[in-house]
Chain A
Amino acid sequence: MQDIAGVLVNTVISAALYATMAYGLAVIYGVMRIINLAHAGLMMLGAYATLALFTRFGLDPFLSLLVVGPLFFLIGVVLYRLVVRRLPRSGSTPSMESLLLLFGVWLVLQNLAYVIWTGDTQSILTSYTMKSVPVLGVRVGVPSLFVFAGSVLSLVFLNVVLKATYLGKAIRAVTQNRDAALLAGVDADRISAMAFGLGTAFAGVAGGMLSSLYAFTPDFGRSFLLKAFCIIVLGGMESVTGVAAGALVLAFLENGLGSWTTLPTSLQDAASFTLLFVTLVAFPQGLPGLAARVRAVFK
């Protein structure tokens, strides 16, 4: 029983963080049909930004998210205006050019970080890093709880933006049908810039939160990028609930493998890659597609 409670608590906690990472990708994908490989580099940069604020100004890593979020929004908008916008418009499927271009951006960011911060492993140690508290009879690290809180707040924020503001409505409109949105007078270029900024802000915030859980180097972020891909592929790329469901499935699989099997920890990372591969191949429509198929069978 104890075991099950442990897995469930940890699943929910990691799922919230995973969803934060994945939403950034999903918003950009939805509006621009671009697979943002630079997401990993931006998460890494978010971790370093948090570290810099922590060491320079002694700012708590979780408070610094309030700085990192807006800062990365600006970085995203600039990145869009300088680079991404110059890409030839692709149709309904993402183009190879956009993938490789953002891959180049990732490389530049990564190696910029090597120049600025060297390849040494960094970590953020606060007074509560090693502390833990019981939750439903399971001991959970305090940073993990803060990460959970931070993730939930960011997700609520995103939901409010998407549901209640003009920007959010425009983002959803462009995601659903770009041409129709243009006809209705939505400035798609502006919305794309905003969406890219929003996605980048989420990458920065996710990276900032990751920095209080894990040690990091400029190479940081790749395995998390794959997790985020896995989630949006599972979640069906565009649906908000789908992303949450995908995050839960992946987090459950990882935590379950860790507790109920003797698989070495290093192999657990392979779980997400395997799930990604299996999902892409077996049901590329993700969970929504799978659900539709199951419904069709039972009808």
Chain B
Amino acid sequence: MKRLPLAAGAALAVWTLAAPLFLERGTLNDVWNLAFAVILASAWNILGGFAGQVSLGYSAFLGIGAYTTVLLSLKGINPFWTLPLGAVLAALFSVVIGLPAFRLRGPYFTIATIGVGEAVRVVASSVSFTGGSSGLRMPAGSFDFTLNYEAMAALAIVTVVIAALVRRSAFGHALAAIKQDIDAAESLGVDSTRFKLGAHALSAALVALAGSLYAINFQYIAPGSVFDFRLSLAIVLAPIVGGVGTVAGPVLGAIVFSTLQIKLLSVPALRDSYLFIYGGLLILVMLYEPKGLVGLARRLVARVRRTPAAPAEAARAA
């Protein structure tokens, strides 16, 4: 039973990587979107779920990755070579933001991150080297969708694996301690700021990588697309609906989220209002099952077995 999620994950990973062999372009595009959502959700979850620091400013990192890629490509550099630099820049920015912001706790941190995200968007649309609010286009050239797809799929798998590794490591335990009781963690010698900064940088870098691939795929970026507040929303909603703080939750949430999104976006009347469903989902999750779909599944399993969850399981779920 323990190995079941691992096997399912491995099968899903292989299927995703091999998908270009048997899926047509349209469906493949949907899977690309799904992988993109999985990366954002799982990466956000490292800070937001494991450490409990809910940030609503993640579009900033996505945008940094995307802009780094486009700006350097315009200088004639191969887009894929720009990925590491975008990740490093996003990680640095996350530290610059985190150093002051992590002095804030809970909702105050969240509000500060809304401010950061908005400020970055406003600045990006008013300075000139980013092309202002009209955005930037990638240099004309050959674009290989299959290559981009494989990169996105691989990044999604790597992100989930990293999340799983973090969860098991001492680092992950420190984050869990910070989430449960930051004062108690501090008094036991956990340097909470350092661990929060580390989690922030790691998730920012992963999100920036996804942002770079996003730019390569769409060939055009603007502050209204990559720095959009709705993007920050989507990044947060998927893991919360799926189940924060677990490895499977964000993946599940992202799958549900992007499948619904694809379905809803194909209905013209709902094109602008598809987030309605997520607002409703968010309300339901917060009121009835704060642990999300994963929590719901665990409760159902426990009920079917008619025995309370084993103490170790319950502790891990907390």
CA distance A122 to B106 in the complex (A): 36
Closest chain A residue to B114 by CB distance? A226
Write out the residue numbers on chain B whose beta carbons fall within 8 Å of the beta carbon of A159: none
CA distance A264 to B127 in the complex (A): 9
CA distance A270 to B286 in the complex (A): 31
**A266 interface neighbour in B107, B125, B286, Cβ under 8 Å:** B125
Write out the residue numbers on chain A whose beta carbons fall within 8 Å of the beta carbon of B279: 103-111
Is the Cβ of B283 less than 8 Å from the Cβ of A223? no
Is the Cβ of A280 less than 8 Å from the Cβ of B108? yes
Whether A111 touches B123, Cβ cut-off 8 Å, given contacts A226-B118, A277-B112, is no
Q: A222 an interface residue at 8 Å Cβ cutoff?
A: yes
Write out the residue numbers on chain B whose beta carbons fall within 8 Å of the beta carbon of A99: 54, 107, 110
> What is the distance, in angstroms, from A102's C-beta to the closest C-beta of chain B?
9
> What is the distance, in angstroms, from B278's C-beta to the closest C-beta of chain A?
6
Write out the residue numbers on chain A whose beta carbons fall within 8 Å of the beta carbon of B286: 87, 97, 100-101, 104
Q: B290 an interface residue at 8 Å Cβ cutoff?
A: yes
> What is the distance, in angstroms, from A262's C-beta to the closest C-beta of chain B?
12
Is the Cβ of A277 less than 8 Å from the Cβ of B101? yes
Chain B residue total in the interface (Cβ 8 A): 41
**B116 interface neighbour in A115, A267, A277, Cβ under 8 Å:** A277
User: Interface residues of A toward B: which range?
Assistant: 35 or more
Q: A114 an interface residue at 8 Å Cβ cutoff?
A: yes
Q: A146 an interface residue at 8 Å Cβ cutoff?
A: no
Is the Cβ of A281 less than 8 Å from the Cβ of B103? yes
Is the Cβ of A108 less than 8 Å from the Cβ of B101? no
Write out the residue numbers on chain B whose beta carbons fall within 8 Å of the beta carbon of A94: 106-107
Is the Cβ of A111 less than 8 Å from the Cβ of B115? no
CA distance A96 to B302 in the complex (A): 27
Is the Cβ of B107 less than 8 Å from the Cβ of A270? no
Q: A121 an interface residue at 8 Å Cβ cutoff?
A: no
Q: B100 an interface residue at 8 Å Cβ cutoff?
A: yes
Q: B126 an interface residue at 8 Å Cβ cutoff?
A: yes
Q: B276 an interface residue at 8 Å Cβ cutoff?
A: yes
Whether A223 touches B272, Cβ cut-off 8 Å, given contacts A101-B287, A104-B282, A111-B279, is no
Q: B83 an interface residue at 8 Å Cβ cutoff?
A: no
Whether A222 touches B280, Cβ cut-off 8 Å, given contacts A110-B275, A264-B126, A277-B100, is no
Is the Cβ of B276 less than 8 Å from the Cβ of A115? yes
Write out the residue numbers on chain A whose beta carbons fall within 8 Å of the beta carbon of B273: 111-112, 114-115
CA distance A100 to B237 in the complex (A): 9
Whether A83 touches B54, Cβ cut-off 8 Å, given contacts A114-B273, A115-B273, A280-B108, is no
Write out the residue numbers on chain B whose beta carbons fall within 8 Å of the beta carbon of A104: 278-283, 286
Q: B122 an interface residue at 8 Å Cβ cutoff?
A: yes
CA distance A95 to B272 in the complex (A): 30
Q: Report whether over half of chain A's contact residues are helix, strand or loop; otherwise say mixed.
A: helix
> What is the distance, in angstroms, from A81's C-beta to the closest C-beta of chain B?
13
**B274 interface neighbour in A111, A233, A266, Cβ under 8 Å:** A111
- A interface footprint on B254-293 (CB within 8 Å = 1, 0 otherwise): 0000000000000001001111101111110011001000
Write out the residue numbers on chain A whose beta carbons fall within 8 Å of the beta carbon of B111: 35, 229, 233, 276, 280
Is the Cβ of B283 less than 8 Å from the Cβ of A105? yes
**A35 interface neighbour in B107, B122, B123, B126, Cβ under 8 Å:** B107
CA distance A109 to B159 in the complex (A): 34
Closest chain A residue to B104 by CB distance? A280
Closest chain B residue to A103 by CB distance? B282
Enumerate B150-202 residues with CB–CB distance to A below 8 Å.
none
> What is the distance, in angstroms, from A298's C-beta to the closest C-beta of chain B?
26
> What is the distance, in angstroms, from A266's C-beta to the closest C-beta of chain B?
4
CA distance A115 to B269 in the complex (A): 8
CA distance A110 to B276 in the complex (A): 8
- B interface footprint on A270-287 (CB within 8 Å = 1, 0 otherwise): 100110110011001000
Write out the residue numbers on chain A whose beta carbons fall within 8 Å of the beta carbon of B123: 267, 270
Closest chain A residue to B123 by CB distance? A270
Q: Return 12 A-B CB contacts under 8 Å, by A number.
A: A97-B290, A99-B107, A100-B240, A103-B282, A111-B273, A115-B276, A229-B114, A266-B122, A267-B123, A269-B118, A277-B119, A281-B100
| Extra inter-chain contacts (4) besides given A100-B282, A266-B122, CB under 8 Å | A95-B106, A96-B54, A108-B276, A110-B279
CB within 8 Å of A: which residues of B?
52, 54, 100-101, 103-108, 110-112, 114-116, 118-119, 122-123, 125-126, 133, 229, 233, 240, 269, 272-276, 278-283, 286-287, 290
CB within 8 Å of B: which residues of A?
35, 83, 86-87, 93-97, 99-101, 103-112, 114-115, 118-119, 218, 222-223, 226, 229-230, 233, 264, 266-267, 269-270, 273-274, 276-277, 280-281, 284
The 3 A-B residue pairs whose C-beta atoms are closest, nearest first, are A107-B279, A104-B282, A111-B276
